[in-house]
Amino acid sequence: MTTQNKVAGAREKADKYTEFVSRGFGKDLAKRLGLPQPVVLRRYSPQAPLVEGPILVLGQGAGSDGVSRLLLDWHQDVRRHATPKEKLGAIVAVLDELQHPEELSATMLAMGAALRDLKKNARIVTISRSALASDAPAVAAARNGVDGIVRSVAKELRAGATANGIVLAEGIPADAPSAMSALRFFLSGRSAFVDGQFLTASSLGAAEQPDWEKPLDGAVAVVTGAARGIGAAIARTLARDGATVIAVDVPAAGDHLAAVANEIRGTALQLDITTPNAGQRILDHAMARYGRIDIVVHNAGITRDKLLANMDNAKWDSVIAVNIASQLRMNEAFLASPNFAKNSRIISVASTSGIAGNRGQSNYAASKAGVIGMVRATAPLLAEKGGTVNAVAPGFIETDMTAKIPFATREIARRLNSLQQGGRPIDVAEAIAFFAQPAAAGVTANVLRVCGQNLVGQ
Amino acid sequence: MTTPTTPVNESATEKFSVKTKQTTPAATTSQRRGVRKAVIVGGNRIPFARSGGAYSHCSNQDMLTAALDGLVARFGLADEEIGEVAAGAVLKHSRDFNLTREAVLGSALAATTPAYDLQQACATGMEAVIGLSNKIKLGQIDSAIAGGVDSASDAPIAVSEGLRAILLDLNRAKTMGQKAKIISRIRPKDLSPDAPSTGEPRTGLSMGEHQALTTAQWKISREAQDELALASHKNLAAAYDRNFFDDLVTPFRGLSRDSNLRGDSTLEKLASLKPVFGKSLGDNATMTAGNSTPLTDGASAVLLASDEWAQARDLPILADVLDGEAAAVDFVHGKDGLLMAPAFAVPRLLARNGLTLDDIDYFEIHEAFAGTVLSTLAAWEDEEFGTTRLGLDGAFGSIDRSKLNVNGSSLAAGHPFAATGGRLVATLAKMLHERGQVDGRPARGLISVCAAGGQGVVAILEAR
């Protein structure tokens, strides 16, 4: 019980600096000195409203009308035109019909005029189409222009507000279920630490009406590395969303694992994922105990940092074995099993180190970039049966591990993103829980960064 | 007592006779008709730690709660109401009068789970398993957790008898004058605390000294004892290495393997140790720290159920608890060694079930001391013991040593008294389940645990 309380307590606390500059003298001082002013981010709870305030929908055409109708169905306060001085909870810019960069100006200037009226922790979401090599150059220019817009606006926003985009594959309407599941994710507190990022809706997605309260109800999920930190948060979040969770970790972490499993009424499976039959053991446990397996979250990972010049066999090989080789082997077992066939979900935890690289982490970056490659190549294999596979790449997340970084280094690492603070394990977990939803059926092969728009990498 | 079904000879009328307590297998079957099975779903223990080590500052309640929580997590039993939980500790504080219930309340189990403490020295865990199995068999409960815990590190220390009498009198005194008078009775010798010991109250001898006498009586060599100790370490280490304990042990306080385990031990190292028990025997002293179990801290728990309860929750079924038997010997008058009761319990138990030693595929004979195991085996192989003490026609029999303690036992794992039974039952149940069928019948295992006070509790498990 003590452990559980401790973990829950840690989850609620903002870092000291954020607390200091959030009110009173500290807030005043930070403003005068031009210091970073991170705010306490709006995070998801099943009871909280989707967005705090009216949503302004910009853009013309069937797409924007469809999106507006859907937001009304979700009982949101929708505006098609900004009312000066009215504080907004979100702006959704529907740009799915862009043909030329010149068409951007009307929508973007309307958005610009409304930016000053955004509430704290507001959201900007664009909906556009992917720019393809086969597009007419002007069309591709317009579509790719949105990329630059989102990433720049995200850097301009303050006070916990974020800007993200949804990219539609050819032929997918703006109000397709897959796009709407992504829109809901971006608008909600689930995406608190996701900033300047895109999600691609590659197919229509699930047709049935989703249960937004308990989206994973009835599903059985496996989470590796679930004993602590991000893995424990993932296990808790999937359980909160209705899933029955099999918490997996190495036998040596069994005591923490048991505490997590008992807290979420799941089961603990002590298993080293590098054992050759780990995938089969997970399948056997899931089938024997629950008769199904729907979601696999590959979270377990290790770091053995060393400059490449000083690298040894043990450090290189163990990182590759745990972080990527084990996932490849387990996925083979899952994909071969008839029990992991329909609408299954695989979500891997990658890392911003695998995208932007990191000094002293060549082995770790190899494994995490490897995860991204694996995800993209596995997507077509799962798509045949309606399954998806995605990766989440965390940036600086406040965990026991990052708490050990020396103070000054940690303070700098924490502020080097648009939200000027470290993320929390729950932020990574929320992104994973989104990919696991039945509503996200059309969202596959994505690599979503949960990094507060870290200044390095894409 | 059941009427003997066959005439008994004069020498077999002793109170330890096999035949005086024997019922025929046919009668047993008919008696059992209508009685359902009790099955073992699985078990959990924390790694055992040498006393004064990793769990020095843990209470029995801490450890038992951890063992329960690990079991709950393994089988997804959070908030589940279990029929009954029974566990105990040999070294127990008086404040722990409701130790097991308190551990249940601190665990993830439903607070509506009843629990009771029991204590039968080192056989506590075994008796918990057998007693609860019987309740399941009778249909009184559908599920149960049997456990045990002991801490030699956090042992209770009492005030001396003299001081205790004075303090109680002081409590009853009414006037200041009376109180002053009573306090003046305290003498320096009264202030020395009374620590628990493994000494037998009736003989004043420690368990080790008792076993040293038995070891010498059965002429067990030092080499044989060291070989058994070495095998225990090697077997336990090998079992850990092939991940056998992944679903039997949950780490605790930074320990993920038993801290007494010495997988790299050698006969040479063991041979170099000086005898610690039976030193009065001079050159015949054979018992060392290497072939005796150390004082240990730890806890274990076993999940028992009816078939229906386990199946309704899609839980595994590893083995049936077939039958159990207790015995005691008159060690006070020197008739038998202190730890020799299983030598009598096992023949009775097997006879009642129509079985012989050859029908057993795994033997788990608790290694209180290597000498205990070897003395028991020697007694069974001894013709005179068989005829005069067991009332048989000859020696009871010998066992195939390759079936003995194949995944190690107490010499390597350590022996937190009340927790050993749970360790043995869960380990054997898993071995039997993995073995499955032998010659077209379920694999069978025998557990034998000796206990202080000249007692012993044994049981048969059968694979599922």
State the DSSP string of A342-362. Answer: TT-EEEEE--THHHH--TT-H
Residue A191 is classified by DSSP as: G
pLDDT at A47: 85
Let me know: does B210 contact B338? Beta carbons within 8 Å: yes
Tens-digit pLDDT profile for residues B192-235: 767 666 678 888 888 888 999 999 999 999 999 999 999 999 99
Tens-digit pLDDT profile for residues B231-244: 999 999 999 999 99
Instruction: Please name the amino acid found at residue B113.
Output: T
pLDDT at B345: 96
The verdict on residue B177 lying in a domain is: yes
pLDDT at B450: 95
Let me know: does A323 contact A349? Beta carbons within 8 Å: no
pLDDT at A302: 86
Residues of A in contact with B73 (CB under 8 A): 247, 257-259, 261-262, 267-268
Q: Rounded to the nearest 5°, which phi and psi values hold at A380?
A: -65, -30
Number of continuous H segments (helices) and E segments (strands) in chain B: 15, 14
Q: Residue B177: is its pLDDT beyond 90?
A: no
The whole-angstrom distance between A239's CA and the closest CA on chain B is: 13
Please name the member of A258, A271, A289 whose beta carbon is closest to the beta carbon of B73: A258
- The pair of three-digit structure tokens given for residue B173, joined into one six-digit string: 């005194």
Tens-digit pLDDT profile for residues B383-402: 999 999 999 999 999 999 99
Name the pairing type of β-strands B39-45 and B296-305: antiparallel
With a pLDDT cut of 70, the percent of chain B lying above it is 92
| Residue A13 three-state SS | coil
Residue A160 is classified by DSSP as: T
Give the span between the Cα atoms of B199 and B186, in whole angstroms.
Answer: 27
- The pair of three-digit structure tokens given for residue A433, joined into one six-digit string: 């829980």
Q: Which residue has the higher pLDDT, A408 or B245?
A: B245
Give the span between the Cα atoms of B102 and B120, in whole angstroms.
Answer: 20
Number of residues that this document lists for chain B: 464
Which residue of chain B has the CA closest to A2? B106
Contact state of B75 with A252 under an 8 Å Cβ cutoff: no
CA-based end-to-end distance of chain B: 32
Contact state of B73 with A275 under an 8 Å Cβ cutoff: no
Write down the ipTM of this complex. 0.80
Token pair 């927790």: residue: B419
Q: Region B48-70: what's the mean pLDDT?
A: 94
Give the span between the Cα atoms of B395 and A120, in whole angstroms.
Answer: 87
- Number of domains observed in the structure of chain B: 1
Tens-digit pLDDT profile for residues B134-167: 999 999 999 999 999 999 877 777 777 788 888 8
The verdict on residue B405 lying in a domain is: no
Give the span between the Cα atoms of A197 and A166, in whole angstroms.
Answer: 9
Task: Name the nearest CA neighbour of B91 among B47, B60, B115, B68.
Answer: B60
- What's the CA angle centered on A72, arms A426 and A87, to 5 degrees? 70
**Residue among B233, B366, B415, B433 flagged as catalytic:** B415
Domain that holds residue B187: 167-194
The whole-angstrom distance between B9's CA and the closest CA on chain A is: 54
Give the span between the Cα atoms of B407 and B399, in whole angstroms.
Answer: 17
Q: What is the CB-side half-sphere exposure of residue B128 using CA atoms within 13 A?
A: 38
Tens-digit pLDDT profile for residues B428-454: 999 999 999 999 999 999 999 999 999
Contact state of A255 with B247 under an 8 Å Cβ cutoff: no
Residue A397 is classified by DSSP as: B
pLDDT at B44: 98
Q: Walk along chain A (458 residues) and give the pLDDT tens digit of each residue.
A: 333 333 333 345 667 777 777 777 777 777 776 677 778 888 998 888 999 999 999 988 888 899 999 999 999 999 988 888 889 999 999 999 889 999 999 899 999 999 999 999 999 999 999 998 898 999 999 999 999 999 999 989 888 999 999 999 988 998 888 899 999 999 999 999 999 999 999 888 776 777 888 999 999 999 999 999 999 999 999 999 999 999 999 999 999 999 999 999 999 999 999 999 999 999 999 999 999 999 999 999 888 888 888 989 888 999 999 999 999 999 999 999 998 878 899 999 988 887 878 888 888 989 989 999 999 999 999 988 889 999 999 988 888 877 877 887 788 888 888 888 888 999 999 999 999 999 898 899 999 999 888 877 66
Domains of chain A: 2-33 (no CATH), 55-201 (3.40.50.720), 220-450 (3.40.50.720)
Which H or E run includes A31? Answer: helix A24-33
The verdict on residue B290 lying in a domain is: no
Residue A172 is classified by DSSP as: -
The verdict on residue B180 lying in a domain is: yes
Residues of A in contact with B252 (CB under 8 A): 255
Q: Region B350-364: what's the mean pLDDT?
A: 96
Residues of B in contact with A239 (CB under 8 A): none
The verdict on residue B59 lying in a domain is: no
Let me know: does A41 contact A193? Beta carbons within 8 Å: yes
Partner B contacted by A182 (CB < 8 A): no
Q: Residue B65: is its pLDDT beyond 90?
A: yes
Q: How confident is the model at residue B14 (pLDDT cuts 50, 70, 90)?
A: very low
Give the span between the Cα atoms of A311 and B372, in whole angstroms.
Answer: 53
Partner B contacted by A280 (CB < 8 A): no
Residues of A in contact with B43 (CB under 8 A): none
CB pairs under 8 A between A and B: 68
Q: Which residue has the higher pLDDT, A333 or B190?
A: A333
Token pair 């606390």: residue: A13
The verdict on residue B174 lying in a domain is: yes
The verdict on residue B188 lying in a domain is: yes
Name the pairing type of β-strands A244-249 and B441-442: unpaired
The verdict on residue B84 lying in a domain is: no
